[in-house]
Amino acid sequence: MPIIELKEISKIFGFGDATTLALDEIDLVIEKGEFVAIMGPSGSGKSTLMNLIGLLDRPTYGSYKLGGKDVSRLRTNQLAKIRRDRVGYVFQSFNLLPRLNVLENVALPLVYKGVGANKRIKTASALLERVGLSDREYYLPKHLSGGQTQRAAIARALVNSPDIIIADEPTGNLDSESSRVVMELLSDIHKLGNTILLVTHNPELTRYVNRVVYMHDGVIVHDENTPIGEVPKLARKALNLFQRKTEEDDLAGVSALMKAIPTKHTTKKPRAKAKKPTSRSKSMKRIKK
Amino acid sequence: MSITRNIRSAAQSLKYSKWRSLMTMTGVILGVLSVITIVSIGEGVKRQVVGQINLLGSDLISVRPGNLVTRDKNGNIVKVNQISSFAFGSGSMSDSDLETIKSSSGVKTVVPIGLVNSGVKLDDVQYNQSLVIATNDKFPAMLKQTINHGVFFDDTDSNKHVVVIGKRVAENLFAENVPIGRTLTIRGVEFVVIGVFEEFNYSPLAYGTDLNQAIAMPYAAGQELTGHNQLAQVLVRPESVDQTTAVIAAINKKMTLAHGGQNDFTVLKQDENLSVVSNILKVFTAFISGVAAMSLLIGGIGIMNIMLVSVTERTREIGIRKAIGATNRQISEQFFVEATILSSTGGAIGIGLAFVINAVLRIVTHLNPVISLEVVLISAGVSIALGIVFGVIPAVRAARKDPIEALRYE
Ligand SMILES: Nc1ncnc2c1ncn2[C@@H]1O[C@H](COP(=O)(O)OP(=O)(O)O)[C@@H](O)[C@H]1O
Ligand SMILES: [Mg+2]
């Protein structure tokens, strides 16, 4: 059963001359329990897509069904409640509240749900144990290492038992060892049946996922399933083609990769919203399992 | 989100910026402090006046120079003409006025209070805090005042150079409790201390005049020093209590006649002191209340301001909270509660300080201010209301922030 169904989703930012077409008629279906990596150069619309899926933002056009229910036209408060109950966010910059200790941070979503204090502490505490931070419950975020902070953030994302977890470049600020720990954690969560969307520039991380979606200029240009434990064909190409050293190399690699994909869309100029389901966009649809 | 949780979270973030929170609360603190203090002083003064009335009896009549009050046609005081003219010795009457009053019908006893404008000297030490008066032998009985040590002068002493002094004069000038037999010099003339008053608990001559600083000499002695006595006040008791009103009317009539129809004196019943004091207090209270209201208003605006700054500074926090599922309402509640906590904490501090000031005033002055439960509750209510009113705009602004833009905010 698909948990996420996007149909001809477009997102336009700005007005008049300053408009940006961040997403251009995206069609995307994600099944429950999938672990999907979203790759693509900077500015290709990955975060915009994640914000829409995570209900932090609304599409300009198109329809979005979450768990079979149309959520593309809901009001702000309803969106907040769905976010609270069904979505867990993991950010690149961690985004823990600096004044709350780790336990309070993890328990915060439950506060908004109206869960009592005892239950909140128990649940949050259990999750911190799961991410290996039991001994850091009363630390402030600033006293944690980057990897620990991100694990706390993952615990927070899990505290409401969400249907989907959205991780937008969760390892972007981490060293490789911390990245590995965080990815192992996400992988464990995935194995327990959670649906996870992961934005990353690092092709190596795709070995944890079962599907990779490639974006460019607001369009999904490629979409492939891949066995867990393997870096898929295209991503491996990037891996082999470039000696990765820094984050920038990563970006360069992904960009070069995109250009390597033999489709004409790469030269496409950003255009105003136009309703024309081209053969190109159809051809880009993911190959069903 | 529960209210207690909200309060705890708000307290946490206010504690995080303690100093700024305190600065923000200053307006509310000062407003509450000044309102409570002025009201408590007023209350204390009133209680003292009531106590004085009870002690001296409502049949004590005082005649003073100047047209001090305006009355309605029923004779009730509606206005105090000039607050300063109520000060002791601001004008004077003459010996002939004393005779006029004495000869009014129904008058039993008359006590003149002549003012001897002078400092006193003990050896070479000059003492200016004392209140030197010339009066007659009925003075203690008229004011129901006892003599602690020695005696008061009687009518045989009327032109002797003797004085009876207040407790404070004994302590401050003579540095002993019973300086009887010692002499002091007034206008170059030596006077012998023959008695020390028991402590005066009230100020029956004029509010704020401390009779514990009094030096009383026989009337004739005063006349000898000053040429003719400056009568600051004449105290009268009628033959019986129910005659009080009639005697007042008689004095008024005779005095007006003697002054050629001019109303340049005032006859007050003892229990009218309360309405005089109330009237005087009203003016002060109105003034201080105005200042306090301004202070509270500025305090409220200050709270709004700092909350707006806080909303901006915490934009990212708002974004995070929204991302993890806070509704707009839950966000606005958070800031709303914070503003209210800020203002009510200010109110609480103001109330606390008012009690401290109250204690200090009780020690260093003889005002005996009284803080009533009522004024505390009203102050608390106003403080809370202030946060509610001025918390609305920041709370709404916080709630309206777009989550994505808020998350991007640095
Ligand atoms: N709030 C916004 N206002 C205007 N333009 C935006 C906004 N958010 C994103 N964009 C634009 O949309 C495009 C996609 O951005 P984004 O989704 O952040 O890309 P990615 O996450 O893949 O780097 C970019 O051109 C970006 O400049
Ligand atoms: Mg991004």
Once rounded to an integer, what is the mean pLDDT over residues B205-215? Answer: 84
| A142 Cα to chain B: minimum distance (Å) | 15
In a domain, B364, yes or no: yes
What residue ranges of chain A have pLDDT lower than 70?
237-289
pTM above 0.80, yes or no: no
- Give the pLDDT confidence score for residue A251 in this predicted structure: 65
Residues B145, B38 share a domain: no
Residues B302, B377 share a domain: yes
The residue whose CB lies within 8 Å of the most ligand 1 atoms, and thus the one to mutate among A10, A20, A93, A258, is A20
Structural domain range at position B155: 117-228
Using a 6 Å cutoff on CB, does residue A40 contact ligand 1?
Answer: yes
ipTM score of complex: 0.85
Q: For the stretch B247-256, what's the b/e string if a residue is b when 16 or more beta carbons lie within 10 angstroms of its beta carbon?
A: bbebbbebbe
Residues B358, B288 share a domain: yes
Q: Which residues surround ligand 2, an ion (CB under 5 A)?
A: A 47
* Tally of structural domains, chain B: 2
Nearest-CA neighbor of B281 among B33, B40, B32? B40
B334: its two tokens: 């958070």
Q: What is the DSSP letter of A266?
A: G
In a domain, A257, yes or no: yes
Residues B139, B220 share a domain: yes
CA B25 to chain centre: 27
Q: Say whether residue B400 is in contact with chain A using an 8 A CB cutoff.
A: no
Residues B223, B135 share a domain: yes
Residues B206, B125 share a domain: yes
In a domain, A245, yes or no: yes
In a domain, A48, yes or no: yes
In this structure, are residues B257 and B39 in contact, taking their beta carbons and an 8 Å threshold?
A: no
Q: Say whether residue A156 is in contact with chain B using an 8 A CB cutoff.
A: yes
CA distance A188 to A165: 13
Q: Say whether residue B272 is in contact with chain A using an 8 A CB cutoff.
A: no
Structural domain range at position A219: 4-283
Where does residue B33 fall: left (phi above 0), alpha (psi -120 to 50 degrees), or beta otherwise? alpha
Domain final residue pick, B192, B208, B228: B228
Q: Say whether residue B313 is in contact with chain A using an 8 A CB cutoff.
A: no
In a domain, B321, yes or no: yes
User: In the block, which residue shows the tokens 């030096």?
Assistant: B215
Mutation site, A13, A91, A112, A166, interface B, largest B CB count within 10 A: A112
Per the CB < 8 Å rule, is A80 touching B327? yes
CA distance A259 to B296: 66
Sign of CA dihedral B363, B367, B372, B378: negative
One-letter identity of residue B374: E
The β-bridge relationship of strands B265-269 and B61-65 is antiparallel
Taking residue B80's Cβ as centre, other Cβ atoms within 10 Å add up to 20
Q: Say whether residue B263 is in contact with chain A using an 8 A CB cutoff.
A: no
Using a 6 Å cutoff on CB, does residue A67 contact ligand 1?
Answer: no
* Tally of structural domains, chain A: 1
User: In the block, which residue shows the tokens 């496409």?
Assistant: A268
- Give the pLDDT confidence score for residue A250 in this predicted structure: 62
Nearest CA in chain B to A109: B324
- Residue A248 makes CB contacts below 8 A (sequence gap 6+) with none
- Give the pLDDT confidence score for residue B147 in this predicted structure: 93
Mutation site, A95, A154, A163, interface B, largest B CB count within 10 A: A95
Between A62-66, B57-61, B201-205, the lowest mean confidence (pLDDT) is in: B201-205
- Give the pLDDT confidence score for residue A196 in this predicted structure: 97
- Give the pLDDT confidence score for residue A240 in this predicted structure: 56
In a domain, A126, yes or no: yes
In a domain, A141, yes or no: yes
Q: Say whether residue A81 is in contact with chain B using an 8 A CB cutoff.
A: yes
Using a 6 Å cutoff on CB, does residue A44 contact ligand 1?
Answer: yes
- Give the pLDDT confidence score for residue A278 in this predicted structure: 40
- The CATH number linked to A103 is 3.40.50.300
Using a 6 Å cutoff on CB, does residue A41 contact ligand 1?
Answer: no
Taking residue A282's Cβ as centre, other Cβ atoms within 10 Å add up to 9
User: In the block, which residue shows the tokens 């707006």?
Assistant: B308
Q: For the stretch B134-162, what's the b/e string if a residue is b when 16 or more beta carbons lie within 10 angstroms of its beta carbon?
A: bbbbbbbebbebeeebbebbeeebeeebb
Q: At what angle do helices A146-158 and A102-113 cross, to 10 degrees?
A: 20
B130: its two tokens: 């004392």
In a domain, B136, yes or no: yes
- Give the pLDDT confidence score for residue B277 in this predicted structure: 80
Q: What is the 3-state secondary structure (H, E, C) of chain B?
A: CCHHHHHHHHHHHHHHCHHHHHHHHHHHHHHHHHHHHHHHHHHHHHHHHHHHHHHHCCCCEEEEECCCEEECCCCCEEEECCHHHHCCCCCCECHHHHHHHHCCCCEEEEEEEEECCCCEEECCEEECCCEEEEECCCHHHHCCCCEEEECCCCHHHCCCCEEEECHHHHHHHHCCCCCCCCEEEECCEEEEEEEEECCCCCCCCCCCCCHHHEEEEEHHHHHHHHCCCEEEEEEEEECCHHHHHHHHHHHHHHHHHHCCCCCCEEEEECCHHHHHHHHHHHHHHHHHHHHHHHHHHHHHHHHHHHHHHHHHHCHHHHHHHHHCCCCHHHHHHHHHHHHHHHHHHHHHHHHHHHHHHHHHHHHHCCCCCCCCHHHHHHHHHHHHHHHHHHHHHHHHHHHCCCHHHHHHCC
In a domain, A17, yes or no: yes
Residues B286, B202 share a domain: no
Ligand 1 geometric centre to CA of A44 (Å): 7
- Give the pLDDT confidence score for residue B2 in this predicted structure: 67
- Give the pLDDT confidence score for residue A253 in this predicted structure: 62
- Nearest atom within ligand 1 for CA of residue A11: 12
Nearest CA in chain A to B407: A95
- Give the pLDDT confidence score for residue A249 in this predicted structure: 59
